Structure 1
Amino acid sequence: MAVFVDYAHNPAALAATLRTLHRLWGAERCVAAVTLPGDRRDDLLAACAQIVADGVGRAVLYDDEDLRGREPGEVSALVEREMRARRPKLMSMREDGYREAITSAVRLARPGRSCWCSTSGSRRCCRCCPSWARCGAGTCRCRPGCHCRRCRRRARCRHPRETW
């Protein structure tokens, strides 16, 4: 099984990510763990949900840690409703957080499938920006040279080495 982590959070980025996954592993072999940012309009969230519904065989939805002005469960409920309206037989489920969603997605993925993890970016790894700080957008190698993309301050990464 292959795991693909991405920050796609708008319809064009989601479509591009899914095209890449389809070229690599095929359309029905993709399992997704998806969250979308709460500060987007409902119509953009609906468009994103429809693209994901068209592109994966199974989906696990979760709310980001930073709700960005939404109520808990609001974004994942909207996304699930739109996905089911687009593709009623799509297997989807909701989980409480990032770790639970990833765990469920990996369990749903069979050998030879890919697991796509879409994050909205609030998973933080440095102390300087509590709301948003992901070292190098996935390029972190857990060395003291990591930096926060928002404020550009250097910070010691807290990710365990084996997660990268």
Structure 2
Amino acid sequence: SADHLGLRGIDTVEQLARVKRIIIEIATDTAVLNADDSLCLEMANHTKAENICYVTLADNHPLVRKHIRAEGRAVVLEKGLNGDMITLYDKGAHIPLLWTHLIPATLEGKAVHNVQNAMFAAALSFSMGVPLDDIRHGLRTFNTTFFQAPGRMNIFDDHPFKVILDYAHNPAAFKGMCHLVSRMETPGKNICVISMPGDRRDEDIQEVGKTVSGVFDHFICKADDDRRKRGYDEIPKMLREILLKNGVSEDCIDVVPDEVESIHRGLTLAQPGDLLMVFGDNVSRSWKQIVHFNEDLELPSIQPKQQPKEEDSVEAFVEQFTMVAGQRIIQDERGVRLASEEEAD
């Protein structure tokens, strides 16, 4: 995904993929690859690892299904009567691992980005020989509390409103959190305190602004403590303009450059039943501010509003993989992979 682009000579996702491919090139035992990303799929042709393990959220992924039939290794999210099941395939074996709603970090399967993270953790653990019961135990006991994963979807429920603190700092991370918010049945308003690191490209900031514009009801635009060569209020003002261009009403946007003041504004604005999403930079300070806000204040209750339920869940999170005309598949003892352009010729 697009992150740190425009820095240190890396200007495109393709260039970033070539850098990250180094890990796959030096792998000796197993290369674990995201089959829902075409750039990751292409990495399979650059590894000499004994095993190729694909991970996909799409249970009908054509390449992965062919890989499984060739007795290759894969981790697939499969739909069942009770929800979505993380399933392992290896050497012809079919191993149901765990229902996603039993993994605390996924919020009963609503946080699809953490479903994906759990699947990669399972793929890596299984490939390293970790027993299945230990993998299940690890997934069922890990949670996104501030103490286990600071700045990663930390939820605070002790106010009359819900607060989520997350250090999202690239378009993909914001997309994941917005997808989560769209699946949460918030009875009140969705409010966010938002920023982006100053060294990110203008186009990345524009993409983030567009992503959040249709999800939240009110926006508090701030800057990180470290402006990274940007002006004092340059990032929040830029976000404000992007939100306005994407149809957000002017009275639904506050520009509060200081992070502490912006979080205080969000906490003060939130009412019972609301969701406050804080995209924080100094996560330790932000968490303390959230926890200790108005500890003795009682707010009046309000009637919850009806929230439309999203029908399409996992499918909305990733693009469906389809074979492109002219693409060729290579099969060997490790399973299947897409042929490189040189091999295709």
Q: Same fold (TM over 0.5)?
A: yes
The equivalent residue for 1:128 is none
Q: 1:27 to 1:65 in 2, by over 3 A?
A: farther
- Offset at 1:115? 0.3
Length-normalised TM-score, structure 2: 0.35
Q: Mark the runs of 5 or more structure 2 residues left unpaired by the alignment.
A: 1-160, 293-345
Report if the CA contact (8 A) 1:11-1:47 is conserved.
Answer: yes
Per residue, is there more strand in 1 or in 2? Answer: 2
The equivalent residue for 1:131 is none
Say which SS state the counterpart of residue 230 (structure 2) adopts: coil
Report if the CA contact (8 A) 1:27-1:55 is conserved.
Answer: no
Q: Mark the runs of 5 or more structure 1 residues left unpaired by the alignment.
A: 126-133, 139-158
Cα distance in structure 2, aligned partners of 1:12 and 1:22: 15
The equivalent residue for 2:258 is 97
Matched, 1:73 2:233: yes
Report if the CA contact (8 A) 2:188-2:273 is conserved.
Answer: no
Q: 1:49 to 1:108 in 2, by over 3 A?
A: same
Say which SS state the counterpart of residue 224 (structure 2) adopts: coil
The equivalent residue for 1:149 is none
Q: Deviations over 1:83-133 (max 9, x none)?
A: 1110142601011311111111122222101100002x3x276xxxxxxxx
Matches within 5 A, 1:9-88: 9-26=169-186, 29-88=189-248
Report if the CA contact (8 A) 1:38-1:70 is conserved.
Answer: yes
Length-normalised TM-score, structure 1: 0.70
Q: Deviations over 1:45-82 (max 9, x none)?
A: 01101111111000101111100111111111111100
Cα distance in structure 1, aligned partners of 2:195 and 2:247: 18
Say which SS state the counterpart of residue 271 (structure 2) adopts: coil
The equivalent residue for 2:278 is 117
- Offset at 1:27? 9.4
Q: Look at both structures and tell me which one has the larger radius of gyration over its CA atoms.
A: 2
The equivalent residue for 2:163 is 3
Cα distance in structure 2, aligned partners of 1:27 and 1:10: 28
Cα distance in structure 1, aligned partners of 2:271 and 2:210: 24
Q: 1:27 to 1:17 in 2, by over 3 A?
A: farther
Report if the CA contact (8 A) 1:62-1:98 is conserved.
Answer: yes
- Offset at 1:28? 7.1
Say which SS state the counterpart of residue 184 (structure 2) adopts: helix
Say which SS state the counterpart of residue 4 (structure 1) adopts: strand
| Matched residues, number | 129
Percent identical across equivalent pairs?
A: 22
Cα distance in structure 1, aligned partners of 2:226 and 2:236: 13
After TM superposition, the structure 1 stretch with the greater mean CA deviation from structure 2, 14-23 or 35-44, is 14-23
Say which SS state the counterpart of residue 229 (structure 2) adopts: coil
Report if the CA contact (8 A) 2:213-2:248 is conserved.
Answer: no
Report if the CA contact (8 A) 2:209-2:239 is conserved.
Answer: yes
The equivalent residue for 1:129 is none
